[in-house]
Structure 1
Amino acid sequence: MAEQTIWYLEMRDPDAHRARALPETFTVTECEIPQFALNRFLYELVGAQWQWDEKLEGDQNAWRAMIESDAHRTFVAYYRGAIAGYFELYRPDGINVEILYFGLVENFIGMGFGAGLLSHAIDQAWRWTGTERVWLHTCSLDHPAALENYQKRGFTIYDEEIAPC
């Protein structure tokens, strides 16, 4: 059976963030009104290339409830009017923000947007009143530069595991 490495990363201090600016032609907008269909679309649009499929096969009602909760926020990134990527923040305990999903649409990878979008996600997580920690996980199936981007922005690995693909 094929295996993957999963890394868990965290940032416990906003001063650890080594930010990169978004390009001027790149905008990010928060979806202040939750729309489950939009989140599902973004998940498929960004995640198809990385085999994100666990949410598509699971309980859609539980997924919808999470997206519609006050503990969840969605941000969409645009480049020249086209959706270029997105991220979701999730903070069910009121203090630990998970960057739940983060990524670029396939044809926008390699254009230098990843570091700026990740920095924007980190900034939004720390600006969420009450945040004490920002965390995420990635795996060896992700883009080859993903782990390095997270570490360059100031995240540190706190756990690692080997799991089946």
Structure 2
Amino acid sequence: MPSGRARILDSIASQQKRSSKAAATVVQFLAGTGLRISEAQSLRWRDIEPEAFVLRTAKNDELRRVPLTTAAKEALETLRAMFPSGAQDPVFPMKSPRIALANACKRLGLPHLRIHGLRHIFATRTLEAGVDVPTVAAWLGHQDGGALAMRTYSHMIEKHSDQQIHKVRI
């Protein structure tokens, strides 16, 4: 059975609207990067490197480099093929996939998922994969070394910690 994420992406893409595939691809990219929607909207093709992207943070206007996950790379390849464009052009062909995401969740009988929730999905998945909190915090653009991430995801970090203890052999 496909994951919830795959079901949502398939539901969005299958709507046969002009922007359906683009909306699904933008959702995939957001879930694969942890970007705020405002950061994603400001992303230009010149900001994309082969293994990462560089952008100005939304909250403090500093540069931030974030490595690309496989899902993000795939989404960028799809967007590039769908919408050939120059270095100065925006990466995303739409303002927001908010309505497409909300409608997909409703069609699938899933709880409402906001665009910002995709950021939480990214943070949760990276922490579950064993990426350390300060690194995840840096990717998210937090300036506090991970304090906010620890507060926000402490329940998840605790669960992960309980699973990790089984690796210890004393």
Kindly name which structure, 1 or 2, has the bigger radius of gyration based on alpha carbons: 2
Judge same fold: TM > 0.5, yes or no. Answer: no
Bigger RCO of structures 1 and 2 (CA < 8 A, at least 6 apart)? 1
TM superposition score normalised by structure 2: 0.28
More helix by share: 2
